[in-house]
Amino acid sequence: MLIIGEKLNSAIPSVRQIINDKNAAAVQDLARRQAEAGADYLDLNTAHCDEVADMEWLVRTVQEVTDVPLCIDSTAGEAIKKGLETVKGDKSKVIINSISMEKKRLEEVLPLVLEYQCPVIGLTVDDNGIPKTAEERIKITEELIETLSRKNYDLSNLYIDPLVLPLAVNHTNAVMFFQCLRDIKRLFKVKTVSGLSNISFNMPKRKLINRYFLTICMASGMDAAILDPLDGKIMTAVTTTDLLLGNDRFGKNFLKAYRKDLLAD
């Protein structure tokens, strides 16, 4: 499974602080450590700072120390645009996080997706908000696919995020999410992604819930996850579940992690 490191997000108070302080060394330390821990992508979010200007600074600062591709996380077309313009190297590797069927978002972000032909995360949300049922989310997925394929976008670059809602709001939210993942993989030739941690909102032992949730998501067909790669226990869950799901030929990655003493039991 593809791992998108979540740490460089201005929603985390300590990260907001180092971005506001333009503390390049602290940002670069988080970038380097996530990459070393196995992140395939680094998510960058500056929504709680000076969004556009700080995205430019963050992209530049991170790329000074790592070649790991970036996931530009913003609801604002302007911040995504600035991020893409600033990226050095192959811009078609950047994941745009995200597009949706919300009219304004679609108008702002679709032209960027088409210009750079890069992977994009599509949220199952429209101007009526996040749907309560799996059926409505599948319908929005269909609309996103229709919109993108009409523009000849390569659908194998589309990651659908069916959006996790807290269990504390409805005790069936996790099973509804698994249903979404299975339906999307069965019906369409696209990938799936999730931010996971919303599932445990307002509950104790959040990391425990997130970890078990992750394994069922993987078994339900999740291709990528936005998570904290510095959390050894969640990374162990990913490595072990990939082994069990037949995604790790000859157990190569599992044994490598074992030899490096990275598996937490």
Amino acid code (one letter) for 108: E
Minimal distance, residue 114 CB to ligand THG, in Å: 19
Closer CB to ligand THG, residue 9 or residue 239?
9
CA–CA distance, 146 with 168 (Å, rounded to integer): 34
Position among 231, 242, 253, 254 found at the interface with ligand THG (CB under 6 A)? 231
Closer CB to ligand THG, residue 61 or residue 75?
75
Tokens of 92: 């078609």
CB hemisphere CA count around 9 (13 angstroms): 17
Residues 62-81, mask of contacts with ligand THG (x by CB under 6 A): -----------x--------
CA–CA distance, 118 with 171 (Å, rounded to integer): 36
**Which residue do the tokens 């969004």 mark?**
51
Closer CB to ligand THG, residue 170 or residue 251?
170
Position among 9, 46, 179, 239 found at the interface with ligand THG (CB under 6 A)? 9
Q: Near ligand THG by CB under 6 A, which window of 58-66, 82-90, 190-198, 250-258?
A: 190-198
Q: How many CB atoms lie within 10 A of CB 15?
A: 23
- Is 228 an interacting residue with respect to ligand THG (CB under 6 A)? yes
Name the CA dihedral angle for 202, 173, 158, 220, rounded to a multiple of 10 degrees.
Answer: 110
Q: Near ligand THG by CB under 6 A, which window of 1-9, 20-28, 29-37, 167-175?
A: 1-9
CA–CA distance, 34 with 213 (Å, rounded to integer): 21
Position among 1, 3, 5, 6 found at the interface with ligand THG (CB under 6 A)? 6
Closer CB to ligand THG, residue 73 or residue 126?
73
Q: Residue 105, SS3?
A: helix
Q: Which residue is nearest to ligand THG (CB)?
A: 195
- Which H, E and C letters describe 156-196, residue by residue? HHEEEECCCCCCCCCCCHHHHHHHHHHHHHHHCCCEEEECC
Interface residues with ligand THG (CB under 6 A) are: 6-7, 9, 11-12, 73, 97-98, 121, 161, 195, 197-198, 207, 226, 228, 231
